Chains A and B, each alone.
Chain A
Amino acid sequence: MFDRDLWREIFQSINMNRTRSVLSGFTVAFAILLFTILFGIANGLNNTFAEAFADDANNSIFIQSGTTTKANKGYQAGRQIQFKNKDLNYIKEEYNEKVQYITSRIYLNVNASFRNEKDSYSVRAVNPDHQYLENTKIKEGRFINQLDIDNKSKVIVIGRLVEDDLFLKTTALGKYLSLNGLQYKIVGTFEDDGGDNEERLIYMPVSTAQRVYGNNDYIDQINLTYNPEMDYDKAISFSNALTKDLKDRFDVASSDQRAIRVRNLAIESKTVNQMTFGLGVIIIVIGFGTLIAGIVGVSNIMIFIVKERTKEIGIRKALGAQPKSIITIILTESVLITAIAGYVGLLVGMGVLELIGPSLETYFIKDPSVSTSLVVGATITLIAAGAIAGYLPAKKASQIKPIVALRDD
């Protein structure tokens, strides 16, 4: 395959026509540059979305309550809807098949202190399933477990930043933290990809919070994940059914949007997925469009080169060049120009992404970059593109009759 003389011929020819070769490569380089930048930006948008959802399992459904806005079944508008433990149990039993994890949530604000360090934090009182719903990563110790719930234990799991703030580089596990004057044992510390706010949280068993703060069985919010085997449409109809069911249960008008709010990430995921897909299609269309323009450009210039070299090709044929050797020269030259130009475009594009990447975060584009698989794909595409671009000119060249070429004085 590797023929040193062939490459000498090609480099000699490219060298002789440097300006022209550069110009013909320019369109391809530009196409790939554009493609790389667009692709990188799309990737950046994807990263932003991915990060926005990194915090929560993306099959999550959040159920919150509020006040009614419409009178219904003899109740006046403005009634406060309050979820209780039995509501959670109801969902758990009623939709056993469709629910993967479920937890209640109570929000509290506490002043925490350990020795001389103190600060105020948000507390989430939850069930053990909460760990999976929020993608909470245990750093040390453990999460809240069922025994804690049953015993209403005064235990807490604290975020990485709480530990940093209050325990000043010493380990918090096993120590007691005072929350509003009550001592809680720290049974675990956790990390979370959802950002600093998520790591400045304290988790405690929901039953403990209910006993200590109010001695009731109220809960503020119910979070659940649906069975991941359900597709988006099934998940959406599940959450619709659930909403209707809960509205009936609390005698809320079905058109009331405030009393019971169900937020299904499936709907958002679906929208995002559709958007990303649409974006991908647009980018591929634009990218390929420009690439095709590039191919046509190279092809055109190669045809021009063949035309200009008609006489030379005629001489070569008179001296015994076979059509195959002429085709090889033209095709290889075309592939070489396309591939080199394409790589220049790719490198420049990656450089541009690297340069402007950080400043794009304001526009929801995070870490725009292209993957190795894209580079490999681009290589194959470029070689194919070069071959396509060179095909017509090479064929034209091989059909040149030496007598016609030589008569051309």
Chain B
Amino acid sequence: MLNIKKLHKSYPIGDSSLHVLKGIDLSVDNGEMVAIMGSSGSGKSTLLNIIGMLDEADDGEYILDGVPIKNLTEKKAAIYRNKFLGFIFQSFNLINYKNALDNVALPLYYQGIKRQERQEKALFHLEKVGLKPWAEHLPNELSGGQKQRVAIARALAANPKLLLADEPTGALDTKTSYEIMDFIQSLNDEGKTILIVTHEEDIAHMCKRIVRLTDGVILEDEKVEQVRASQYV
């Protein structure tokens, strides 16, 4: 599904540059659920951004579902993001003047799907996250957990091969966090490949594999026994 070799990334800071990723090797198979852990500044978000084609690596190889990701034009990157990836953000990143349904339908709009079909698909995914009755509500009329579920529905709408979640529970209380994790786990059960960036141990242990990053290198990469979130809900 995902193959990364000797990935390097540095950011210019004034005259010098900050070497954030110092040769990352990582491969993820279909159906895996991987937590990327590390303290702030360890490069975990940068790694996720590169995987998400929001940022480009300086050096190294990145192959996503057999497609080498290198020197993409903006247009190509947009098409790949739309086709391959679903994003879940810490701060939800919903468009605040669009109702839940329209938010979920947005990736489908960029796929060029007709309005009628878009609305149906979006509604289907909203129902899946249990928010069908809230379809017409604006984001600010929803709770944090509900917002994140709308965001998950949006990430799922385009039927991506890979779900990328950047601190998906970072802005939520513990109970809601577990509810969201429970839902993400159920998606993984259905076969979705999921990458989660987190710094919370309990969230990481709800994944099947933990990759620990320190100062831009992978220090540890181990399979773990998945803790089911459902027992806390």
Tell me which residues from 1 to 26 in chain A have a Cβ below 8 Å from any Cβ of chain B: 4-5, 12-13, 16
**Across-interface contacts of A323 in B (CB, < 8 A):** 74-75, 78
Instruction: Give the residue name and chain of the B residue nearest to A315 (CB).
Output: B93
> Which residues of chain B are near A322, meaning CB under 8 Å?
74-75, 78-79, 110
A312 CB to closest chain B CB (Å) equals: 6
Stretch binding the partner chain, chosen from B36-44, B48-56, B179-187: B48-56
A406 and B49 alpha carbons, distance in the complex (Å): 11
Between-chain CB contacts (< 8 Å), 12 pairs: A4-B115, A5-B115, A315-B94, A315-B95, A316-B95, A319-B87, A319-B107, A319-B110, A319-B154, A320-B158, A406-B54, A409-B91
B82 A319 Cβ-Cβ under 8 A: yes
> Complex Cα distance A139/B158, Å?
81
CA distance A322 to B82 in the complex (A): 10
Contact with B along A318-335 (1 / 0, CB 8 A): 111111110000000000
* Cross-chain contact of A403 among B54, B94, B98 (Cβ < 8 A): B54
- CA of A311 to CA of B94 in the docked complex: distance in angstroms? 10
Query: Given the complex, which residues of A lie within 8 Å of B89, measured CB to CB?
Result: 406
Q: How many residues of B contact A (CB 8 A)?
A: 27
For residue B49, which residues in chain A have a CB less than 8 angstroms away from its CB?
403
**B102-121 interface with A by 8 A CB criterion:** 106-107, 109-111, 115
Inter-chain contact B75/A324, CB cutoff 8 Å: yes
Q: Which residues of B contact A (CB under 8 A)?
A: 49, 52, 54-55, 74-75, 78-79, 81-83, 87, 89, 91, 93-95, 97-98, 106-107, 109-111, 115, 154, 158
| Chain A 181-198 residues near chain B, CB threshold 8 A | none
Main SS class of interface, A: helix
Measured between beta carbons, the chain A residues less than 8 angstroms from B110 are 316, 319-322, 325
Q: In the assembled complex, which residues on chain B have CB atoms less than 8 Å from the CB atom of A398?
A: 74
Extra 6 A-B pairs, beta carbons < 8 Å, given A13-B97, A316-B95, A319-B110: A316-B106, A318-B54, A320-B83, A322-B75, A401-B55, A406-B93
A317 at the interface (CB under 8 A from B): yes
B82 neighbours in A (Cβ, 8 Å): 319-320
Nearest CB on A from B121, distance (A) = 14
Q: Which 3 A-B pairs have the closest CB atoms?
A: A320-B82, A320-B110, A403-B54
Complex Cα spacing A324 to B76, Å = 12
Asked whether A402 is an interface residue with its Cβ less than 8 Å from the other chain, the reply is yes
Count A interface residues, CB 8 Å: 25
Query: How far apart are B96's CB and chain A's nearest CB, in angstroms?
Result: 8
Q: Are B93 and A320 in contact (CB under 8 A)?
A: no
Q: With a CB–CB cut-off of 8 A, which chain A residues contact B79?
A: 320, 322
Cβ–Cβ < 8 Å partners of A406 in chain B: 54, 89, 93
Q: Mark A361-387, 1 if CB is under 8 A from B, else 0.
A: 000000000000000000000000000
Q: With A and B bound together, what is the CA distance between A147 and B110 in angstroms?
A: 87
**B54–A402 touching, CB < 8 Å:** yes
CB of A129, distance to nearest CB on chain B (Å)? 75
Is the CB–CB distance between B93 and A311 below 8 Å?
Answer: yes
In the complex, which residues of chain A have a beta carbon less than 8 angstroms from the beta carbon of B74? 322-323, 398
Q: How far is the CB of B36 from chain A (nearest CB, A)?
A: 16
Interface mask (A294-327 → B, CB under 8 Å = 1, otherwise 0): 0000000000000000011011111111111100
List, in ascending order, chain B residues with CB within 8 A of A13's CB. 97
Q: What is the distance, in angstroms, from B44's C-beta to the closest C-beta of chain A?
A: 14
Considering the chains assembled together, what is the distance between the CA atoms of A324 and B93 in angstroms? 22
A321-B54 in contact (CB<8A): no
B97 contacts A16, C-beta separation under 8 Å: yes
User: CA separation between A398 and B97, bound complex, in Å?
Assistant: 21
Chain A: minimal CB distance from B199 (Å): 16
Contact at B97–A12, with CB atoms within 8 Å?
yes
Q: How far is the CA of A321 from the CA of B98 in the complex (A)?
A: 16
- Chain B residue with Cβ nearest A13: B97
* Interface contact A312-B95, CB-CB below 8 Å: yes
CB distance from B104 to the nearest CB of A (A): 10
Question: Nearest residue in A to B94 (C-beta to C-beta)?
Answer: A315
In the complex, chain B residues whose CB is within 8 Å of the CB of A320: 78-79, 81-83, 107, 110-111, 158
Q: Which residues from B are CB-within-8-Å of A314?
A: 93
The answer for the CA separation of A108 and B52 in the assembled complex, in Å, is 100
A residues in contact with B91, CB < 8 Å: 409
| In contact, A317 and B78 (Cβ under 8 angstroms) | yes
Nearest-Cβ distance from residue A27 to partner chain B, whole angstroms = 25
Chain B min CB distance to A313 (Å): 10
Q: CB-nearest residue of chain B relative to A16?
A: B97
Cα of A402 to Cα of B154 in the assembled complex, Å: 17
Contact A12 B98 (CB under 8 A): yes
Closest to A403 in B: B54
Provide the residues of chain B in CB contact with A402, threshold 8 Å: 54
Complex CA–CA separation, A317 to B49 (angstroms): 13
- In the assembled complex, the Cα of A248 lies from the Cα of B110 at a distance in Å of 90
